[in-house]
Amino acid sequence: MNRDFVVTIDGPMASGKSTVTRALQEKMSFQSMNTGAFYRASTYIVHAKTGSELPLNSLDSITDILEEIIAEYIPFTYWKDNALRFSKTREIFARACHGIERSLLFNQVIDANVSLVSHYVPLREAIRTQVRNCVQKGRWVIEGRDAGTQIYPEATLKIYLDASVEVRAKRRYEQYHGSIENKQKYTEIRDQLRKRDFQDRNKGKYSLKLNSDSIYLNSTKYTLEQILKILYTKLENCNEK
C-alpha cells in the first residue's frame, strides 16, 4: 500500500475508535489524526482560562475564548506521534497547554463539556481546515464524529464503529477508574454517554451519523481481532483497485 490513502473512523464516544486506529498504525504503518483531541484541547483551554470545572452552560459565555483559540491556536497546531503539537511560532499556547497529557483530556470534566464546545460552528470549520491540511500526503486514519461525513468525505474507506451504551460505559469507567467497583460512578458515566449521544446526533450537518457508503461494525458483537481482520481485508481490496 504505497499510494496516498485516507481511512475515516466515525462512531460514538468509547466505541473503540482509538483502539482500532492504533492497531491500523501498528499493522499497516498509518499515521493517525484524532479530531476529538482538538475539541478536547479546546475545552481544556476554556476551563484553564475560566478557572472553573463547572459544566459550561452556554456558548455565549465562552465565545471570546473560542475565537482566540481559532485565531491563535488551531492554525498552529498539528498532529505527530499520537499527540497534539504546537508550532514554535505560537509558543505562548505551547506553554499554556504544556503538560496536556491524555489524563487531562480524557476525564469526566472534559467529557461533560466538550460537546458544547464542539457546537461552535466556526471552531468546527477551523478544525476541519486544519485536519485536511495535515493529511494531504501519506496514509492516514482520521477518527472522530464527522470524519467521513464532513471532514474527509472523499476518504478511500469509511468505517462506522458502534457499541452498546452499556459496553461503552464499562470501557470508559475502566479507563478512568480501573475495574468497576463503584456502580454509582458507572451509572453516571452511562447516563452521560446517553446525553452525549443525543447531543452528537443533533448537530445539524455536523451530526454523528452513518454514511450510506460506510462499513458498519459493532464492537459489542465483534472482538478487536475480528474487526481488524475485516478491515485488513477491506484495505487490501481498496489497494488493489
Torsion of CA 202, 203, 205, 207, to 10 degrees: -60
| pLDDT above 90 coverage of the chain, percent | 38
Inside any domain, residue 169 = yes
With 90 as the cut, is the pLDDT of residue 151 above it?
yes
Largest interatomic CA distance in the chain: 53
Predicted local distance difference test score (pLDDT) of residue 93? 42
* CA gyration radius, the chain: 18
Inside any domain, residue 239 = no
Predicted local distance difference test score (pLDDT) of residue 81? 63
Inside any domain, residue 238 = no
| CATH number of residue 67's parent domain | 3.40.50.300
With 60 as the cut, is the pLDDT of residue 30 above it?
yes
Inside any domain, residue 94 = yes
Residue that the C-alpha cell 481546515 belongs to: 129
Q: Which residue has the higher pLDDT, 147 or 33?
A: 147
Q: Average model confidence (pLDDT) for the chain?
A: 83
With 60 as the cut, is the pLDDT of residue 152 above it?
yes
As for how many domains the chain has, the answer is 1
Inside any domain, residue 205 = yes
Domain of 112, in residue numbers: 5-232
The rounded distance, in Å, linking the Cα atoms of 77 and 69 is 10
Inside any domain, residue 54 = yes
Inside any domain, residue 32 = yes
Inside any domain, residue 27 = yes
